[in-house]
Amino acid sequence: MGSSDYNPPADPLDIIHEDADILLVNKPAGLLSVPGKGEGLADCLITRIQAAFPTALLVHRLDRDTSGVMVFALTKSAQRHLGLQFERRHTKKTYIAIVAGEVEGKTGEIHLPMVVDWPNRPLQHVNFERGKQAVTQWRRGAVKDGSTRMRLYPQTGRSHQLRVHMQAMGHPILGDPFYSENAGEYPRMMLHAESLKMRHPQGGKSVEFKAKPPF
Catalytic residue status for 63: yes
The strand pairing partners of 124, in sequence order, are 116
H-run or E-run covering 140: strand 135-144
Which residue is catalytic, options 21, 63, 65, 117?
Answer: 63
Residue 40 phi/psi, 5-degree rounding, is -70, -10
Rounded CA separation 69/211 (Å): 6
Measured between alpha carbons, how far is 77 from 190 in angstroms, rounded to an integer?
Answer: 34
* CA 90, chain centre distance (Å): 16
User: Which residues touch 24 (CB under 8 Å, ≥6 apart)?
Assistant: 15, 16, 17, 18, 69, 70, 71, 72, 196, 209
- Residues annotated as part of the active site: 63
